[in-house]
Amino acid sequence: MKGANADQVRLLHILEAITYIESFLNNKVKQDLYDDHLVRFAVERQLEIIGEAANHVDENLKLKFPSVEWRRIVGFRNFLTHEYFGIDLELVWDIVQNKIPELKILIQNILAEVYPKL
How far, in Å, CA of 6 to CA of 100, rounded? 22
The tally of domains found in the chain comes to 1
User: Would residue 36 count as lying in a domain?
Assistant: yes
User: Would residue 60 count as lying in a domain?
Assistant: yes
Exactly one of 37, 45, 56, 77 is catalytic; which is it?
77
Q: What is the pLDDT of residues 6-64, one digit of tens each?
A: 999 999 999 999 999 999 999 999 999 999 999 999 999 999 999 999 999 999 999 99
Mean pLDDT, rounded, of the chain: 94
Please give the residue range of the domain that contains residue 72: 6-114
User: Would residue 86 count as lying in a domain?
Assistant: yes
User: Would residue 11 count as lying in a domain?
Assistant: yes
User: Would residue 1 count as lying in a domain?
Assistant: no
Q: Is 56 considered catalytic here? A: no
Q: With 0-12 CB in 10 A as exposed, 13-18 as middle and 19+ as buried, what is 88?
A: exposed
Task: Tell me what pLDDT residue 83 has.
Answer: 83
User: Would residue 104 count as lying in a domain?
Assistant: yes
Cα angle at 103 between 101 and 107, to 5 degrees?
A: 125
Report the candidate in 102, 104, 115, 113 with the shortest Cα–Cα distance to residue 15. 104
Q: Is 77 considered catalytic here? A: yes
Evaluate if residue 4 carries a pLDDT over 80.
Answer: no
Exactly one of 10, 13, 45, 82 is catalytic; which is it?
82
The pTM of the whole model exceeds 0.75: yes
Is the distance from CB of 10 to CB of 110 less than 8 angstroms? Answer: no
Task: Tell me what pLDDT residue 12 has.
Answer: 98
Task: Tell me what pLDDT residue 49 has.
Answer: 98
Report the candidate in 51, 31, 33 with the shortest Cα–Cα distance to residue 41. 33
The number of C-alpha atoms within 13 Å of 17 and in the hemisphere containing its C-beta is: 24
How far, in Å, CA of 32 to CA of 30, rounded? 5
